[in-house]
């Protein structure tokens, strides 16, 4: 029996998906619920299990093809006596790669998302691995040979070496390697990245979607920004005091992010306008407080949501943030987990930046930018006497939609967030407090 495999519907607002990678090729046998392919949408990338067991007899879409939901993308023969020799009816991803390689002299210019390198031909190794253009570019610039690449343990799908893997390898590399010899293939790629040359490549789908979303936000909302300093010394000391006990009991690190989320949630409960959405002349006040947290991933940026934060205590917020961040970085987020935010937070402080002016995540009317915590000399007053002290200072920037929020409302909200951060209850972790 021939069974059609169709592009699945991944969410209410999703109308199509992009083929990222086939895990099976024509002629392969696939089990029920075994991963058949990986697809990407404008929200998240997902591994798609096979809806039937049998032999793959037809693949109707290549990597990078955008297919409408419900269209047939492959066919599986589920009968017991499938013919042993089935001719391929289309170009498989591997064949497509080989044909494109013949047409282009520079493999880093490929518009396919992966580059297949025959390790046996290039280095004498018997296995094949896949390298993205950015990995090859870093390897060439850092004089990492294919032999070294083969020795790097990959954390991507099927052991694929990611950008993070090769950067970690270079960071931990203690000895200095010699430049590639003439037998090594990076000599052939050197011309492509000389200072006098350039190259073009198609923007990845996630990057296109981010660009469209950001441009639409700027065209929709009247962006205004306010900034303030927050004395995080109390929080910094609290984390240092409790981090070991917390890690032992919860199995993940206590960070500053939950303190910021908790302060924002408490402030939003007092300023419902900031937890609203504006559609033409209609204001929608949201019943729940759903915090969207921007998370940097290898392919771009995701903003998964922590739902109903007003119902969570501080420890619940800690656990939700850790679970969400882990899912985002391991590409395990469901569609429901990346929709529905009512207010967003982006932390560029993790990259050492002091402050920024983030773009509002539609249809929110506000976004909080979090800067790095840095020690600074500040003037403090004690018993009526001014003194200079070293304090841990963090910059907060609030971007809000001036169509709904005025300067006074934005200022009062941001000041409330600051006060909640500076004056939090030290019993916030209950039994986790160190003594």
* CA–CA gap between residue 9 and residue 122 (Å, rounded): 41
Task: Evaluate whether 129 touches 117 at the Cβ level (below 8 Å).
Answer: yes
Among candidate residues 285, 231, 240, the one with its CA nearest the CA of residue 417: 231
Neighbouring residues of 236: CB distance < 8 A, sequence distance ≥ 6: 256, 373, 392
State CA 190 to chain mean position distance. 31
Catalytic residue among 33, 106, 336, 402: 402
Catalytic residue among 68, 336, 406, 427: 406
Instruction: Name the phi and psi angles at 316, rounded to 5.
Output: -65, -40
For 267, the token pair is 């402030």
Pairing of strands 343-347, 366-382: parallel
Rg (alpha carbons) of the chain, rounded to whole number: 26
Task: Compute how many other C-beta atoms are within 10 angstroms of the C-beta atom of residue 414.
Answer: 23
Three-state DSSP state, 282: strand
Q: Is 213 a catalytic residue?
A: no
Q: Is 402 a catalytic residue?
A: yes
* CA–CA gap between residue 371 and residue 354 (Å, rounded): 4
- Report, as residue numbers or ranges, the catalytic residues: 402, 406
């Amino acid at each position: 029996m021939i069974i059609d495999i169709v592009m699945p519907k991944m969410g209410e607002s999703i109308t199509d998906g992009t083929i990222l990678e086939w895990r099976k090729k024509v002629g392969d046998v696939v089990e029920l619920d075994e991963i058949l392919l990986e697809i990407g949408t404008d929200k998240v990338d997902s591994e798609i299990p096979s809806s039937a067991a049998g032999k793959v007899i037809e693949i109707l879409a290549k990597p990078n093809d955008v297919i409408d939901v419900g269209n047939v993308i492959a066919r599986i023969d589920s009968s017991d006596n499938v013919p042993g020799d089935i001719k391929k009816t289309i170009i498989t991803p591997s064949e497509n790669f080989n044909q494109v390689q013949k047409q282009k002299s520079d493999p880093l210019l490929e518009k396919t998302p992966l580059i297949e390198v025959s390790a046996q031909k290039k280095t004498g190794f018997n296995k094949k691995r896949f390298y993205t253009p950015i990995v090859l570019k870093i390897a060439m610039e850092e004089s990492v040979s294919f032999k070294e690449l083969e020795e790097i343990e990959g954390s991507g799908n099927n052991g694929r070496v990611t950008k993070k893997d090769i950067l970690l390898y270079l960071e931990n590399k203690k000895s200095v390697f010699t430049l590639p010899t003439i037998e090594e293939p990076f000599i052939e790629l050197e011309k492509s990245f000389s200072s006098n040359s350039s190259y073009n490549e198609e923007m990845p789908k996630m990057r296109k979607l981010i660009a469209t979303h950001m441009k639409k936000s700027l065209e929709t909302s009247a962006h205004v920004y306010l900034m303030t300093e927050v004395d995080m010394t109390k929080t910094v000391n609290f984390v240092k005091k409790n981090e070991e006990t917390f890690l032992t009991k919860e199995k993940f690190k206590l960070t500053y992010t939950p303190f910021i989320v908790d302060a924002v949630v408490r402030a939003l409960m007092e300023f419902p306008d900031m937890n609203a959405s504006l559609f033409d002349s209609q204001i929608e006040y949201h019943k729940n407080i759903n915090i969207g947290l921007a998370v940097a991933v290898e392919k771009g940026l995701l903003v998964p949501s922590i739902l109903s934060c007003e119902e969570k205590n501080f420890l619940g917020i800690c656990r939700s943030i850790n679970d969400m961040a882990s899912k985002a970085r391991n590409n395990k987020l469901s569609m429901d987990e990346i929709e529905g935010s009512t207010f967003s937070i982006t932390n560029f402080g993790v990259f050492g930046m002091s402050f920024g002016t983030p773009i509002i995540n539609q249809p929110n009317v506000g976004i909080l930018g979090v800067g790095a915590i840095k020690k600074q000399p500040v003037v403090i007053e004690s018993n009526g006497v001014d003194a200079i002290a070293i304090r841990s200072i963090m910059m907060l920037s609030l971007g809000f939609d001036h169509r709904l929020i005025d300067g006074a409302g934005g200022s009062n909200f941001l000041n409330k967030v600051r006060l909640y951060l500076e004056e939090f209850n030290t019993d916030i972790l209950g039994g986790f407090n160190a003594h």
